[in-house]
Amino acid sequence: MLKRGSTIGILGGGQLGRMMAVAATQLGYRCIGYSPEGDNVAAEVCEDFFTNRWDDQAALAAFAARCDVVTWEFENVPVATARAFPSDKIFPDPKALETAQDRLNEKRFIEGLGGKPAAYAKIDSQSDLEAATDRLGAPGIVKTRRDGYDGKGQWRIMSGRDAAALKLPDVPAIYEGFVEFDAEFSVILVRAQDGEIRFWDSSRNVHESGVLAASYLPAGEAVEPQVEQARKLAGQVADALGYVGVLTLEFFATHEGPIFNEMAPRVHNSGHWTIEGAATSQFENHIRAVAGLPLGDTRTTANAVDMRNIIGRDIEAAHAFLADADTHLHDYGKSEVREGRKMGHLTRLTRA
């Protein structure tokens, strides 16, 4: 258990790290961050921030020397960087990154635990893609195996003609068959160092152009009967990885039950509602877990929740929403405003 005043290192400098650092400060800890690039908004709430390359061994050593424990805020931290820290000093275990960073390995891992992903095929060439669309049908989607998020590194295939015309990037990819679903939802859990697991209520999620637009609670009749089965798989994933911290699995609710979509070994956008809408937020519970503290209560404290992302220039008018009762604004403080970029979020609560 980390004593009061200890320092938590955060790999990554985005809004998730920012909200994580705020939660850590409230628990009596200091935070320092490390990220080589980007608009490092977490730096504003960290005691110090390293802007060095991921492979800068001297900088990583200096960073590690100042940290009592290290965690990360996004899943594209290089595995080699995470493994540069002693195994008893970094949470979650870097094998979670190793699993989630390759979509093919991730799907095979899920299948090995009895989960069901969308039908998929490994793509290394144009002929692989054409064979995959013949076998799995179209529509479908091509995804790079690494680095894509928020709709990046993805191409929709509506027909065999699209497959033949697509100029594949020179990187490993996969093809996923189309899933007919009634809703999308996420399972977010926190696992403590002693193996205790707690779940938040699952939200129904709505995506626009591959980016999460909104999350709602209650999730509704399409989602709620499938949550228990999805939680079982998520718990198996956490146990298999020896996971410590917050873990997210995204699912499609279908007539055949929950279909696994993807895993995020971190706090998640669809859990932002927990800051105001749950007894303990995902950010606080992540810090509690990596610090070895008892986990907090994850129950929902509102009758209904509506969380909306603020995208691009919509942030410039966001203060107007505060005229609505029980509406909470989180501005991430990003200096560069551009189309499709998450600039903040709003959470509206309905209470009894």
Is 262 annotated in a binding site? The answer is yes
pTM given for the model: 0.95
pLDDT digits (tens, 9 = 90+) for 141-184: 999 998 765 556 788 888 777 777 787 777 889 999 999 999 99
Q: Is residue 344 predicted with pLDDT exceeding 60?
A: yes
Q: Which of 11, 15, 8, 26 has the alpha carbon at shortest distance from 296? A: 26
Q: Which residue has the higher pLDDT, 170 or 251?
A: 251
Domains of the chain, start order: 7-90 (3.40.50.20), 119-177 (3.30.1490.20), 183-350 (3.30.470.20)
Tokens of 319: 């203060």
Compute the distance between CA of residue 19 and CA of residue 352 in angstroms, rounded to an integer: 28
Residue 319 has what pLDDT? Answer: 96
Is 339 annotated in a binding site? The answer is no
Residue 148 has what pLDDT? Answer: 61
Residue 166 has what pLDDT? Answer: 80
Is 178 annotated in a binding site? The answer is yes
Residue 125 has what pLDDT? Answer: 86
Is 154 annotated in a binding site? The answer is yes
DSSP helix/strand/coil, 40: coil
Tokens of 274: 């927990």
Is 49 annotated in a binding site? The answer is no
Q: What is the mean pLDDT of residues 213-238?
A: 98
Compute the distance between CA of residue 36 and CA of residue 15 in angstroms, rounded to an integer: 15
Is 120 annotated in a binding site? The answer is no
Is 207 annotated in a binding site? The answer is yes
Please write down the long-range contacts of 130-137, taking CB distance under 8 Å and 24 or more positions apart: 130/160, 130/163, 130/164, 132/163, 132/175, 133/157, 133/159, 133/160, 133/163, 133/175, 134/160, 136/175, 136/177, 137/177, 137/178
Q: Which of 320, 300, 199, 284 has the alpha carbon at shortest distance from 248? A: 199
Q: Which of 5, 78, 70 has the alpha carbon at shortest distance from 36? A: 78
CB 213 within 8 A of CB 267: no
Is 250 annotated in a binding site? The answer is no
Residue 129 has what pLDDT? Answer: 87
Residue 270 has what pLDDT? Answer: 98
Compute the distance between CA of residue 211 and CA of residue 342 in angstroms, rounded to an integer: 9
Tokens of 338: 């551009």
CA 63 to chain centre: 24
Q: Which residue has the higher pLDDT, 62 or 139?
A: 62
Residue 288 has what pLDDT? Answer: 98
CA 1 to chain centre: 25
